[in-house]
Amino acid sequence: MSEAERTIETPEDSSRRPEPDEPVEETAPQAADADAAEAPGADPAAPRRRRVGVLAVVAAFAFVLDLVTKIAAVEWLEHQRSIDIIGDWLRFSVIRNGGAAFGFGEALTVFLTAVAAIVVVVIIRLARKLYSTPWAIALGLLLGGAFGNLTDRLFRAPGVFEGHVVDFISVQHFSVFNLADSAIVCGGILIVILSFRGLDPDGTVHKD
């Protein structure tokens, strides 16, 4: 056999078909797909989508609802007698709060304003890795509530960064609060529940 014929029939021929019993090497894309399918929390049926839209809608709803109710409370209830909703147990009565939620920390207005601003920035940055709908709802409530009270801090009297928050929901044997406070508390409770269940913001689930 000539040298040319031996060269043509070498095993390095890329067009050679494998024998029926010969194992086929897995290509790089196939290996990547297999790793993705075996990743914890991965959903092979559908591509993952970020839940920024859910967070934005929940935050906007909480913020607008808080803003509208505060405007209405100042317009109709401030400097007026309290309105009983459920006897003495629940009533509407407007107060100006220089502290945190539910009237705590009244001497820390500027500090609390800075904390609220930091919370807003952190949530917005976290949204880039947000793939879980329950986490989007929880963070949306936190964002809407924090932004609602931050708006009061910036634009209400006595001045920028020192503005007093409008509270108007009074529960018997409890502090006066607003809907922004309620959104923050509900979002925090939901985050605790999700953490105990092992669900992370990126949609993965851990068991530890």
pLDDT at position 162 is 80
pLDDT at position 19 is 55
pLDDT at position 12 is 47
Which residue in the list 152, 167, 200, 202 is annotated as catalytic? 167
Residues of the chain predicted below pLDDT 70: 1-48, 99-109, 208
Direct distance between the N- and C-terminal alpha carbons of the chain, in angstroms, rounded to an integer:
68
What counts of helices (H) and strands (E) characterise the chain? Answer: 6, 4
pLDDT at position 100 is 58
For residue 31, give the amino acid letter. Answer: A
The verdict on whether 21 is a catalytic residue reads no
Which residue in the list 181, 200, 202, 208 is annotated as catalytic? 181
pLDDT at position 132 is 95
In DSSP notation, 127-172 reads GGG---HHHHHHHHHHHHHHHHHHHHHHHSTT-TTTPPEEEEEEET
pLDDT at position 8 is 43
The verdict on whether 13 is a catalytic residue reads no
